């Protein structure tokens, strides 16, 4: 009998994708567009400490690196982090540190951040409320959370064999974000991924949500 249960995309899956990740022009453009929207929505500065959670190969944070202070590049995939480390070395970057971290199982880092960014990772995290609370606790007072992810979709983005969130309803995510203690959740559409199949093309909008931890 074949197993039809949907499965999660684990670290081994992303390890296998890491070396080719940056060859995808859609991933590149998505990172650039999200970075641009963050730049326009959050006053960035060189003293700002940042966490990129689920950083992958760093397609979101590399475009922002010269506008931020220390950036912790966190991912559960060692393969993704090896690519990040290679890019850091090749470009002589001095403010990025890769770290293997899964906040669902590992203790959170001791440090606190002025900015947390996360791109296309929230839908892989089963317990949204839990990770929002962890993000809240990792932010300094006045700090900003930036989440980029899919708007609610019909499950066709990954297909029925993959166990992930089918994007997010903005109002619901905004409520959950407020319950986690983060204020002023704002949403904007920053990118659209178009997938072409035999049955036609389908658009998947990507939002950026920004929200703040109350100031000191």
Interacting residue ranges for ligand SAM, rule: CB under 6 A: 11, 14, 27, 31, 54-56, 59-60, 75-77, 80, 102-104, 119-121, 124-125
- Nearest residue (CB) to ligand SAM, 77 versus 212: 77
Specify the residue, 191 or 212, whose C-beta has the smaller distance to ligand SAM.
191
**Between vectors from CA 169 to CA 167 and to CA 170, what angle results, nearest 5°?**
115
C-beta closer to ligand SAM: residue 49 or 121: 121
Instruction: Kindly state the smallest distance separating residue 179's Cβ from ligand SAM, in Å.
Output: 21
Q: 197 - beta bridge partners?
A: 200
Shortest distance in whole angstroms from residue 188 CB to ligand SAM: 17
**Cα distance between residue 5 and residue 156, in whole Å:** 16
What DSSP letter does each residue of 73-108 carry, written as one string?
EEES-HHHHHHHHHHHHHHT-SSEEEEE--TTTSPP
In the complex, the smallest distance separating the C-beta of residue 75 from ligand SAM, rounded to whole angstroms, is: 5
- Which tokens hold the place of 150? 């899919």
Of 184 and 189, CB closest to ligand SAM: 189
Query: 86 is written with which tokens?
Result: 């290679």
For the bound state, the minimum distance from the C-beta of residue 78 to ligand SAM, rounded and expressed in Å, comes to 9
Q: Tell me the closest approach of the beta carbon of residue 25 to ligand SAM, in angstroms.
A: 12
DSSP assignment string, 136-163: HHHEEEEEEEEEEEEBP--STTT-TTB-
In the bound state with ligand SAM, the residue whose beta carbon lies nearer, of 39 and 200, is 39
């Amino acid at each position: 009998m074949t197993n039809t249960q949907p499965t999660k995309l684990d670290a081994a899956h992303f390890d296998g994708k890491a070396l080719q990740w940056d060859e995808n022009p859609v991933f590149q453009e998505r990172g650039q567009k999200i970075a641009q929207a963050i730049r326009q929505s959050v006053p960035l500065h060189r003293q700002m400490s940042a966490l990129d959670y689920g950083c992958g190969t760093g397609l979101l944070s590399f475009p922002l690196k010269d506008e931020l202070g220390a950036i912790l590049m966190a991912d559960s995939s060692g393969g993704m982090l090896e690519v990040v480390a290679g890019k850091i070395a090749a470009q002589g970057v001095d403010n990025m540190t890769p770290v293997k971290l899964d906040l669902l199982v590992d203790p959170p880092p001791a440090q606190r951040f002025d900015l947390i960014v996360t791109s296309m990772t929230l839908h892989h995290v089963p317990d949204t409320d839990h990770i929002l609370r962890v993000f809240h606790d990792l932010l300094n007072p006045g700090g900003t959370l930036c989440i980029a992810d899919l708007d609610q979709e019909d499950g066709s983005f990954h297909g029925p064999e993959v166990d992930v969130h089918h994007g997010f309803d903005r109002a619901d995510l905004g409520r959950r974000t407020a319950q986690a203690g983060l204020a002023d959740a704002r949403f904007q559409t920053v990118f659209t991924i178009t997938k072409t199949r035999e049955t036609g093309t389908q658009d998947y909008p990507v939002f950026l949500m920004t929200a703040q931890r109350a100031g000191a």
